[in-house]
Amino acid sequence: MSDLRIATFHAEVEKVLQHLKQEFGKLQTGRANASLVEHIDVEAYGVRQQLRAIAGVSVQDARTIVIQPWDRTVLQAIEKALSLVDLGSSPVNDGVVIRITLPPMTEERRSHLKKVVSSLSEEAKITVRKHRQNALDSIKTEKDEDVKETLQKDLQKAVEEANAQIQDAAKKKEEEVMKV
């Protein structure tokens, strides 16, 4: 028997974990990855839209990202949006595609990214605690003491599982960032 309050908590935790993984994907790890740029907002056709909606993003080699717009008239807008993002290198527009060659990761950049990973995982844990508090508040209205106690134990177990998943994801990302 699964309680709606616990199920809601699990759904919220799943959203937190998905968001954390998306944020981790945006971090440069020394290897080119389309997720570094495909989320960037570009002003094109009079509206702001994500790069992946107006161009193909591919990885040419370990350090080069290639952006090929579906329509060449937006090349300038894409180049402008990319130049505003701190990727450590400027976009190169050859009139057909835009190339970004990522610089090799310095030790200073690696330690900075490790701190970013740590702060993102801490934010995720804080969000999980907020969702736990909301679930606890709704459990406190339960009249049956046995049910209330069981739900609180289930909730605590779910919180511990969520924190372990966040910790695992952060550890994996830190290893990826620190790998030379």
Supply the CATH number for residue 85's domain: 3.30.1360.40
Same domain, 92 and 117: no
Boundaries of domain holding 118: 4-26+106-178
Same domain, 22 and 110: yes
- pLDDT, tens digit, for every residue of 56-77? 988 888 888 899 999 888 898 9
Check pLDDT > 60 for residue 118.
yes
**Residue 63 neighbours by CB under 8 Å, 6+ apart:** 31, 32, 101, 102, 103, 104
User: What's 104's DSSP letter?
Assistant: P
Same domain, 80 and 169: no
**pLDDT band at 30; cut points 50, 70, 90:** low
Q: Tell me which amino acid residue 15 is.
A: K
Count of structural domains within the chain: 2
Its sign, for the CA torsion 167, 171, 174, 176, is: negative
Per-residue confidence (pLDDT) for residue 1, from 0 to 100: 46
Question: What DSSP assignment string belongs to 161-174?
Answer: HHHHHHHHHHHHHH
Check pLDDT > 60 for residue 54.
yes
50, 68, 101: which is the final residue of a domain? 101
